[in-house]
Amino acid sequence: MATPRQKLNTKEHKSKQKLTEAQIAVHWKEEGVFYPPKKFIEQANLTDPKVMERFSEKNFPKCFEEYAEMLSWYQRWKTVLDTSDPPFWKWFVGGKLNVCHNCVDRQLAKYKNKAALICVPEPEDEAPVAITYQELYSRVNELAALLRDFAGLKTGDRVTIHMPMIAELPITMLACARLGVVHSVVFGGFSGEACGLRAADSGSRVLVYADSYYRSGKLADHKAAADLAIEAAKREGQTIDKVLVWQRHPGKYGSASPMVKGRDYFINEVLKDFRGKRVEPVPMDAEAPLFLMYTSGTTGKPKGCQHRTGGYLAYVTGTSKYIQDIHPEDVYWCMADIGWITGHSYIVYGPLALAATSIIYEGIPIYPDAGRPWRIAERLNVNIFHTSPTAIRMLRKAGPDEPKKYNCHFKHMTTVGEPIEPEVWKWYYNAVGKGEAVIVDTWWQTENGGFLCSTKPAIDAMKPGSAGPGVPGIYPIIYDENKQEMPAGSQKAGNICIRNPWPGIFQTIWGDRDRFVRTYYQKYCKSPKSKDWRDWPYFAGDGALLAKDGYFRILGRVDDVINVAGHRLGTKELESACLTIPEVAEAAVVPVVDEIKGRVPEIYISLKPGVTTSAKEMTEKVTHTIETMIGKIARPKTVQIVPDMPKTRSGKIMRRVLAAISNRMDTGDITTLANSDIVEQIRELVQGRAVLPLQEGPEDIKRFGQEP
Ligand code: WTA
């Protein structure tokens, strides 16, 4: 495909009519609604319209007992919510349970011969492997015995797990949970360096690795990362004394990195000594930490979000049942990576606690072609499908007509992780769901444990591009910068906050209580001495809009908002507009410093395969679309047509890298990108072949697209 180096410098434009803030915010046109299919409603877990009454503020916090009661407890809690040390809320205090027992042991009575996990290798000629609950029980027990008696891990210790999407990953997590060992899973696509820093922060002395895995048709060497991780941890003062390595092909080492004697061990070899071993699950306090999940940022230290045992499991189980509509009979496939929070909550813990069959796919969605996900769904008879807008856009770009070639039928589909453009939503609904599936657009964060906003699938209408209302028991609110509530229908964007605590909220940032309070509660705290939860709204760091009908539309991180001539523009609004252009596959908008307007948007687009439209024509089309759909104020300074977007391994477009290029600033660390080569290509396209001196750049652009 041609990659023209065309720029269109628009003339300074003076708007005849000055737009007000309110007018700016409303550019995203309201979408019509879609209703859940009758067939879905007939079988749904949650159909009682009184659910919101049950979970209303007058029943708070007791309403959440409904979720806790879905679990098996060794000892029932005495206090539902303890607010004595705000904002460090405690849930189900006095209760004792074990997460592994809830996800594995207790399913044996009814479901021991049912598949708990079906693991789909990336190579298509390698058959999927089903692991029954009974087999999962045996494997988890043997591994727990190994972790305890061979690795010397005990309740409360931390262990860092750096693994790809293979069965041994959830098995390792569950074995940790059985012992009360706190796991910290680092996304497999992160570098060894990134893993080591996280391992050091958590104080792990044991790493669990896989030697290799398949990615885009190649066996990737993964164990080599462990050596780098150990070095990085050492620099931070943390010694790693054991590396436990799973072999992708047992008996055959798939890495070039030498095994270090007395430090590195093949788990499958050591396991021989633990065959048939059983380990009693350790009854854990509801408030004991279950896991850490680091959220990365290029500035500052990554934050280790510490999740609790009882509240977390109760929350993910309840939301898996009501929002994901999981029944034990369902074949459920969440295409996220377990190394992210979505995978923890909605591949492993929630679905297994409900005795579902959960699918784990090793590879990338478009390997060997864009029909792969639909072939997997057809073969395994998947009826619940869960993925991200990026994946949907990717599949739409690579194979818009692929889904109809396969006999796959979903009752329920999820989108999560980014705002979804209505255009993309509709393709998901029509092409993937074939008009038969309900869609939930779930908004939440690593810090939250589970969903915050979503429609209730059998009860609420769906509105493309809007996540929906707060889920049961979540009371979101939009505040402006002056701590004033912005009412429904105000047509202005503000900061979305959650007024109340909920069981899935994380406990703290590992080792940094101050940062926890500062980042999430300081901004809107009404009274720092108060022990009333009503004084402690949770600040999510996202911009949002609340429509009259009570549906929240998430605009993205507050640091993704571009302030153009003093007016706020959600970058997603612009991108959504671009995606209505038939030739456009993907779009990303970044702020560029402008002498007159402060900031103006620069638009990066990639085109669908086979598009022959000239760069000049595309630039005009984009500018025209933005002007007509949003307004001249949002007119892009330039339109850059690029062959691909820089992306993280999880598929998110790295707008910060584009913003840096657009502003001739340092692109920072790009080693975690899936396609770091593209960065130099785009830089040349935008800046020209000569390497120009870097500029310092203003704070807001430095922060743009990064986590707070
Ligand atoms: C964004 C992922 C719009 C949001 C579960 C949030 C969304 C960040 C949605 C958290 C959604 C997540 N619509 N935006 N449905 N879901 N986001 O921690 O900006 O990886 O703050 O958790 O993703 O990303 P995280």
* pLDDT, tens only, 585-595: 999 999 888 76
Q: Which of 394, 371, 388, 422 is nearest to 645 (CA)?
A: 394
* pLDDT, tens only, 376-393: 999 999 999 999 988 898
CB within 6 Å of ligand 1 — which residues? Answer: 295, 340-342, 416-419, 441-446, 467, 540-542, 554, 556-557
> Which pLDDT band, with edges at 50, 70 and 90, does 573 fall under?
confident
Other C-beta atoms closer than 10 Å to the C-beta of 453 total 26
Q: Which residue, judged by its Cα, is nearest atom 15 of ligand 1?
A: 443
Ligand 1 centroid distance, CA of 94 (Å)? 32
Ligand 1 centroid distance, CA of 706 (Å)? 13
Ligand 1 centroid distance, CA of 542 (Å)? 8
pTM, rounded to two decimals = 0.82
Ligand 1 centroid distance, CA of 407 (Å)? 31
Q: Which of 292, 445, 497, 506 to mutate to test the pocket of ligand 1 (most atoms within 8 A of CB)?
A: 445
Q: What value does the mean pLDDT take over residues 646-660?
A: 90
Q: What is the pLDDT of residue 598?
A: 61
Cis peptide before 87 (omega within 30 of 0): yes
- 97 Cβ contact partners less than 8 Å away, ≥ 6 residues apart: 71, 72, 73, 74, 75, 283, 284, 286, 309, 310, 313
Q: Give the integer Cα–Cα distance in Å for 430 and 436.
A: 8
* pLDDT, tens only, 7-30: 333 333 333 333 333 333 334 567
Q: What is the pLDDT of residue 26?
A: 37
Confidence check: pLDDT of 64 > 70: yes
> Which pLDDT band, with edges at 50, 70 and 90, does 431 fall under?
very high
Q: What is the pLDDT of residue 271?
A: 98
Q: Which residue, judged by its Cα, is nearest atom 10 of ligand 1?
A: 445
Q: What value does the mean pLDDT take over residues 345-370?
A: 97
Confidence check: pLDDT of 702 > 90: no
Confidence check: pLDDT of 144 > 50: yes
Q: What value does the mean pLDDT take over residues 237-247?
A: 98
Ligand 1 centroid distance, CA of 579 (Å)? 20
Ligand 1 centroid distance, CA of 541 (Å)? 10
Percent of the chain beyond pLDDT 70? 91
Range of lowest pLDDT (18-22, 307-311, 337-341, 454-458)? 18-22
Q: Which of 187, 316, 344, 418 to mutate to test the pocket of ligand 1 (most atoms within 8 A of CB)?
A: 418
Ligand 1 centroid distance, CA of 78 (Å)? 34
Confidence check: pLDDT of 3 > 60: no
Ligand 1 centroid distance, CA of 418 (Å)? 5
* pLDDT, tens only, 674-685: 898 999 999 999
Q: Give the integer Cα–Cα distance in Å for 487 and 158.
A: 44
Range of lowest pLDDT (58-62, 517-521, 592-596)? 592-596
How many residues belong to the chain?
708
Q: Which of 338, 498, 506, 542 to mutate to test the pocket of ligand 1 (most atoms within 8 A of CB)?
A: 542
Instruction: Specify the ligand 1 atom closest to the Cα of 540.
Output: 21
- Straight-line distance from the first to the last Cα atom of the chain, in angstroms, rounded to the nearest whole number: 37
Ligand 1 centroid distance, CA of 468 (Å)? 14
Confidence check: pLDDT of 432 > 90: yes
Q: Which of 338, 421, 444 to mutate to test the pocket of ligand 1 (most atoms within 8 A of CB)?
A: 444
Contact predicate 681/640, CB 8 Å: no
Alpha helical stretches, state H, 211-326: 223-235, 267-270, 310-322
Confidence check: pLDDT of 620 > 60: yes
- 617 Cβ contact partners less than 8 Å away, ≥ 6 residues apart: none
Q: Which residue, judged by its Cα, is nearest atom 11 of ligand 1?
A: 443
Confidence check: pLDDT of 164 > 60: yes
Q: At what angle do helices 677-687 and 655-662 cross, to 10 degrees?
A: 30
Q: What is the pLDDT of residue 705?
A: 73
C-alpha dist (Å) from residue 273 to 152, 276, 665: 15, 9, 55
Ligand 1 centroid distance, CA of 444 (Å)? 5
Instruction: Specify the ligand 1 atom closest to the Cα of 340.
Output: 20
Instruction: Return the higher-pLDDT residue of 691 and 110.
Output: 110
Instruction: Return the higher-pLDDT residue of 566 and 38.
Output: 38
Q: What is the pLDDT of residue 369?
A: 97
C-alpha dist (Å) from residue 289 to 98, 103, 168, 521: 12, 17, 22, 21
DSSP letters spanning 547-562: -TTS-EEEEEEGGGEE
DSSP 673: B
Mean residue pLDDT across the chain: 90
